[in-house]
Copies of this chain bind each other. A is one copy, B any other.
Amino acid sequence: MHFASDNSGPALPQVMEALSAANRGFAMAYGSDAIMDEVRAQIRDLFEAPEAAVYLVATGTAANSLALATLGQSWQTVFCSSVAHIHMDECNAPEFYSGGAKLTLVGQDDKMTAAELRASIEGEETRGVHGPQRGPVSITQVTEFGTIYTLDEISALCDVAKSYDLPVHLDGARFANAMIALGCTPAEMTWKAGVDAVSFGGTKNGCMGVEAVIFFDPKHAWEFELRRKRGAHLFSKHRYLSAQMQAYLADNAWKEAAVKANANAAHLAGGLRSIDGVSFMYPPQANLMFVAMPRAMHKRLFAAGAEYHIWSGSLEGDDPNEMVEARLVCDWSISMDEINAFLDVARG
């Protein structure tokens, strides 16, 4: 009954097999391996972007930080949601990689609205050389609260950014989960809506540790390569990054994993919704959810071996009915049996 994170589940069997298959003989190092050529073609094809510059790194923070540093400047401010991973969970990596850029927090909810973004942009660069200059806009899709921007919402944010000539980055650590939920194509969720660069996640959806960074305008390519190397994120035995991504994208493995993860979450959410006293902080739309449950219910679940994070509130306290919020995440690997077992314990 593991709902702690899609960072703690196993990798897809296809990914492991691809690693083994790649482990034969010699291969050119540092991204010149033949599998990377295949990956580049796969991604350009999937995104209908034959010119796109495509790179692999091993962590989502590396993908985000390097992409933003490439799109912006150290004297600028990046516009993002106040709960964005780049703000909350990267220990100042975006600031480090950018050489000291600022993050401007837009709105106070899971998603930025176009109006909030416009107001935030308007609020900066009103002071000439004295204040931070306007920089990239970063959209997290799926949001940190498990909700999803519609294609229209992404377009609206990009339109605002473009009206100030600002580039747009999409943090797609859960790209597949969002795309499946929206029923759209990769291109529709990105460059067709106005996105310039994407962190395309593999790790949370069935890889060991690999993320692609995609620039739709290849002019960023060489700078990104230098930043990646300087950041110590260029792998010598790169074929093992390539192999993961190759297998992840082949035969729709990535889509099927996201379909499963989302279905698992929907099943869990459906079950929880039917339990008295359980409520959702945000409507769950992908593979994670934030749920308020009575303290006693949490205690039953932990006693039964469930694993997940308390989001706010505490298990300490006398009142068994006091509501305590949890974050529950489903990956592709969790079984319906486990979810049902969890729901059974929750029901008491």
Residues on A facing B (Cβ under 8 Å): 2, 4-5, 7-11, 16, 19-20, 23-30, 57-62, 65-66, 73-77, 88-93, 95-103, 127, 129-133, 203-204, 208-209, 225-227, 229-237, 240, 307
- The answer on a CB contact under 8 Å between A10 and B23 is yes
- The answer on a CB contact under 8 Å between A100 and B102 is no
- The answer on a CB contact under 8 Å between A2 and B26 is yes
The distance in angstroms between the C-alpha atoms of A237 and B230, with both chains bound, is: 23
- The answer on a CB contact under 8 Å between B61 and A129 is no
Task: Determine how many copies of this chain the complex contains.
Answer: 4
The distance in angstroms between the C-alpha atoms of A9 and B29, with both chains bound, is: 9
The distance in angstroms between the C-alpha atoms of A215 and B76, with both chains bound, is: 23
Known: A58-B209, A208-B237. 5 other contacts (CB 8 A): A4-B26, A91-B131, A92-B132, A96-B100, A209-B237
Residues in B neighbouring A29, C-beta threshold 8 A: 4-5, 7-8
The distance in angstroms between the C-alpha atoms of A73 and B69, with both chains bound, is: 13
- The answer on a CB contact under 8 Å between B92 and A75 is yes
Residues in B neighbouring A98, C-beta threshold 8 A: 100
User: A74-B92, A75-B227, A100-B96 are contacts. A203–B237 as well, Cβ < 8 Å?
Assistant: yes
- The answer on a CB contact under 8 Å between B129 and A30 is yes
- The answer on a CB contact under 8 Å between A230 and B92 is yes
The distance in angstroms between the C-alpha atoms of A77 and B230, with both chains bound, is: 13
The distance in angstroms between the C-alpha atoms of A7 and B20, with both chains bound, is: 17
Residues in B neighbouring A30, C-beta threshold 8 A: 7, 129-130
